[in-house]
Amino acid sequence: MKAPRFNPRKLGIAFIILAVVMFVVELVWKPVFTLPITESFGFPVWILSAIYGALQVYIWQATQRHVPLTNAELSTWGTKLEEATPTILDMIQGHEKVGDIALAVEKQHGIPPEITIRYIIALGQHLGAGVDYSEQAPSTESE
């Protein structure tokens, strides 16, 4: 059984929720999530959790904004990416690191690693969307 995968968005939301829970516990009960720095000052850990969560959500949004390949990149590298797709899929199934896949594709097909990495992300999003390639095209018969 595969362990659930957390992308930065899910991780960020989880840490923000954790920060809210810690804050409410400290507000309602007592400061159990506060690290004593001096006798008169303690640092609330929920602040770190909130900052980390916000940064993770920001990273996810920035990645989503800059991941798609442009039309110019697709016209330049599309044919080579199609040729490299079986290699990429085989290496992904072999649990290779994305960076290692990008370097291998660069050696074999001459595609820059940043293009390959963005293609792998887009491919993963596409396959994760539940597209089933085993079905044939729908028929055009009228009922």
Query: Is residue 3 included in any domain, yes or no?
Result: no
Which pLDDT score, from 0 to 100, does residue 67 have?
Answer: 77
Tally of domains in the chain: 2
Tell me, what's the pLDDT at 104?
Answer: 94
pLDDT by residue, tens only, the chain of 143 residues: 455 567 788 999 999 999 999 999 999 998 899 999 998 899 999 999 999 999 999 988 887 777 788 888 889 999 999 999 999 999 988 988 989 999 999 999 999 999 999 898 888 777 765 555 455 445 444 44
SS3 content of the chain, % helix, strand, coil (to 5): 65, 5, 30
Residue 137 falls within a domain, yes or no?
Answer: no
Q: Are residues 38 and 75 both part of a single domain? A: no
Contacts of 13 (CB under 8 A, 6+ apart): 53, 57
Give the three-class secondary structure for 30. Answer: coil
pLDDT of residue 68: 81
Residue pair 101/47 in contact by the 8 Å Cβ criterion:
no
Residue 136 lies in a domain: no
What string of H, E and C letters represents the secondary structure of 74-131? Answer: HHHHHHHHHHHHHHHHHHHHCCCCHHHHHHHHHHHHCCCHHHHHHHHHHHHHHHHCCC
Q: For the chain, how big is the Rg over CA atoms in Å? A: 23
**Phi–psi pair at 134, nearest 5 degrees:** -80, -20
Residue 131 is predicted with a pLDDT of 52
CB atoms within 10 A of CB 19: 22
Q: 75 and 36 share a domain? A: no
Residue-number span of the structural domain to which 51 is assigned: 8-66
